[in-house]
A = this chain, B = another copy of it.
Amino acid sequence: MKNPKHEVPIVVIKRLPRYYRYLSDLAQHGISRISSAELSKRMGVTASQIRQDFNCFGDFGQQGYGYNVKHLHEKIGEILGLNKSYSLIIVGAGNLGHALANYAGIERRGYQIIGIFDNDPNKIGTKIKNISVSDIENLESFCSEQQVDIAVLAIPKGEVKEITSRLVSAGVKGLWNFSYSELETPEDIVVENVHLSDSLMTLSYKITNK
């Protein structure tokens, strides 16, 4: 397999998680082989796009035999880094923080939740999924004792700037940002934004133009 680093366009990378989900489903249903034509029909993308995308990473299929589902699933998982394990903390123990802590997908994707933080005295000390909510004041000491790969920002917009800066100083490598604001971070910090507002606007476009 080719080393995908510095080679694969980000638009292709962005499509990999969806392939991964579909391949997971196929494998769970006991399907061991699939043609690009069949995968194309299920996913609603062209077969030629599927072939082009998979070719970015090397040769995944044999002409006329289709793709080996299990092999392809594993390889895409490796490319996405899902064979590794990451430690994660959630900052903000409100409804969204709760919902995320309880979202099984986090642990299924190799992330281990090792801490939850808040500044609200009524929340500090309560338990979410057997994890006791810590005072945000202890963020730095926690990060110096344990390696924290990812911090989830489930906090209000007004608190983002200060918290982001503290997390970066404390050595966190990546941020999963639900705070509805663009972050200003050093170049070596990885950021993945979830902009629900963009999704809502796309929805209203679709409704208006359907």
Q: Is A173 an interface residue (CB 8 A)?
A: yes
Q: How many identical chains are in the complex?
A: 2
Known interface pairs A17-B195, A205-B13, A206-B192; A200-B111 also in contact (CB < 8 Å): yes
Q: Do A110 and B14 touch across chains, with their CB atoms under 8 A apart? A: no
Q: Is B80 within 8 A of A205, CB to CB?
A: yes
A137 within 8 A of B: no
A79, CB-defined interface residue at 8 Å: yes
16 new A-B contacts, CB < 8 A, other than A13-B205, A109-B197, are A13-B202, A14-B202, A17-B197, A17-B201, A17-B202, A20-B201, A21-B197, A79-B205, A82-B204, A84-B208, A86-B207, A95-B99, A109-B201, A111-B200, A111-B204, A190-B203
Select the stretch in A28-36, A51-59, A100-108, A161-169 that faces chain B: A100-108
Determine which of B80, B195, B197 lies in contact with A204 in the assembled complex, contact meaning CB atoms within 8 Å: B80
Whether A18 lies near B198 (C-beta < 8 A) is: yes
Pick the contact of A190 from B103, B111, B206 — CB < 8 Å?
A: B206
- Total interface residues on A, CB under 8 Å, equals 55
A192's partner among B4, B86, B202 (CB-CB below 8 A) is: B202
Chain B CB within 10 A, most for which of A4, A106, A188, A200: A200
- With both chains docked as a complex, state the minimum distance between the C-beta of A128 and any C-beta of chain B, in angstroms: 9
**A194 part of interface (Cβ distance < 8 Å):** yes
Q: Is A135 an interface residue (CB 8 A)?
A: no
A133 CB to closest chain B CB (Å) equals 14
A176 to B98, CA, bound (A): 20
Question: CB within 8 A of A81: which of B21, B95, B207?
Answer: B207
Please, could you name 25 A-B residue pairs with CB atoms under 8 Å apart, sorted by A?
A5-B209, A16-B205, A17-B195, A20-B201, A21-B197, A80-B201, A80-B202, A80-B205, A82-B201, A82-B204, A86-B207, A95-B102, A96-B96, A100-B196, A105-B180, A109-B201, A111-B204, A149-B207, A173-B207, A174-B207, A190-B203, A190-B207, A190-B210, A192-B203, A192-B206
Q: Which residues of B contact A125 (CB under 8 A)?
A: none
